[in-house]
Homo-oligomer: A and B are copies of this chain.
Amino acid sequence: MATPSPRGDIPPRPKVAVMEDVAELAGVSAMTVSRVLNAPEKVRPETRARVLAAVQELGYRPNSAARVLVTGRSGVLGVVSFDTTQYGPASTLYAIERAARQNEYSVSIASLDALNRRSIAEGVGRLIAQSVDGVIIVAPHESATDGLRHLPPDLPVVAVDAGEGVPFPVVMVDQHAGAARATRHLLSLGHRTVWHLSGPANWVDASARVAGWRSVLEAEGREVRKPLVGDWSARSGHELGRILAGEPDLSAVFVANDQMALGLLRALREAGRRVPEDVSVVGFDDIPEAAYFWPPLTTVRQDFATVGRLAFQLALDRIDGVRGERRLKVEPELVVRESAGVRGG
C-alpha cells in the first residue's frame, strides 16, 4: 500500500526513512529492526548486521515522537529556571545538561520572567506539555517554594536550592555553613563584628546566608548590625557600599555575592577606605573573575557543577521510581585571597 495511487507519476517526496523501509531493505520485519535497536541480544548476529547496514545506508533515525507515544518515556528532562544569565544558575544548568547527556537524556528549558507561584506552575506546565520525564526546578525563591507544593503529585520533581517543606528531594549548597565560615574567617582576623550586605528578601539562599552570618555573630556574642539588602547586582553593592562607607566603625563586611562585593569594593575605594587595610571584604560564589578583582576577592566557592550533577541524579532516581525526600547539601569552600586581612592591618 505504499503507492496506492492509480496514476503513476507521484512526485517522489524526499521522505525520511522509517522503520519499515529499513526492514524492507534488510529483508526482515519491522519488529526485528526495533529489536536490533532496543534489545540487540535478542537478534541473531548476522541478522543484526544486515539490519544495521540498512540503518546506515538509509540514514535511519528512530522517530522519537512515535517511541514516546508507545513507551510513555521521552528521555527529556525539563529544567525550570530563573535568570540563567547569572553565573550560578547558568553553571547549574550546564552541569545538569552534561549529566543528562551522559545518561542519554536531553534537556529542555523553561525560563521564568518572574518568581511567583503562577509563573512557576506555568513553566512546569510548558514542560509537562512536552512530555518531559521529570523536572528540575532551579528557582531559589520562597514564592517558588510555595508554588512547588501544588504540582502534579506523580511528576518526578527535584528542586535546587528550595526552602524547607517542599515535598520532594532538594539539592543545595549549604549556604548557612558557607556564610558561617566566611563570618568566622573575618572574626578570626580580629574584627570585632561583621556587617552584611545581603541578597534580596525572600530568596532562600539570601536568607540562609543571613542566618548563617547571624548565628556566628550571636554565638560569639558580637554586635549584629542590620543587614543592608541588595539585589545581587554590582550596582546595588555599590549603592549600599556608599552607605556603609560612611560608618566609622566599619571594619569587615560579608557580602552575599561576588557581584555585590565588586560594587562594594568600588564604593569603599571611592570613599578612600583601603581594602583590606581599613576594611575587609568577603564575597560569595567565587565567580571566575573574583580572583582578578582589586584586591583579589576572598570568597566562598559554590560547587555548582556538583549541585547540577546531583540534581540530575536525584531526578533520574525519581523517574525510575525511587522515592524519598532527601535533602542533599553540598559543602561550600572558603577561598582565601586578599580582600580580607587582619584588623587594622
Contacts and interface: CB of A to CB of B under 8 A. Distances in A.
Given A106-B110, A126-B101, A126-B106, A85 B90 contact: yes
B259 A61 contact: no
Copies of this protein chain in the complex? 2
B64 A130 contact: yes
Nearest to A66: B69
Contacts of A111: 94, 97-98, 101
Contact of A90 (B62, B90, B98, B130): B90
A93 B98 contact: no
Contacts of A108: 76, 106-109
A321 B108 CA distance: 25
A108 B79 CA distance: 10
Contact of A63 (B14, B61, B131): B131
Interface stretch (A44-52, A213-221, A263-271): A263-271
A107 B235 CA distance: 31
Given A85-B87, A130-B64, A262 B289 contact: yes
Contacts of A101: 110-111, 126
A291 interface: yes
Contact of A292 (B74, B126, B127, B263): B263
B65 A292 contact: no
A68 interface: yes
A196 interface: no
A126 B263 CA distance: 42
A99 to B, nearest CB: 11
A235 to B, nearest CB: 7
A180 to B, nearest CB: 27
Nearest to A259: B289
A64 B266 contact: no
Nearest to A128: B61
A129 interface: yes
B291 A234 contact: yes
Contacts of A94: 83-85, 111
A91 interface: yes
Nearest to A304: B85
Interface in A119-169: 125-131, 154
Interface in A152-207: 154
Contacts of A235: 291-292
A97 B69 contact: no
Given A76-B130, A106-B126, A292-B266, A69 B61 contact: no
A288 interface: yes
B68 A65 contact: yes
Given A14-B154, A90-B84, A94-B111, A234 B289 contact: yes
Contacts of A68: 65
A318 interface: no
Nearest to A14: B154
Contacts of A125: 61
8 contacts: A64-B130, A84-B84, A84-B93, A101-B126, A106-B109, A234-B288, A262-B289, A263-B292
Given A235-B292, A262-B292, 12 more contacts: A63-B131, A65-B69, A66-B69, A75-B130, A76-B130, A84-B90, A97-B109, A233-B288, A234-B291, A266-B292, A269-B294, A294-B294
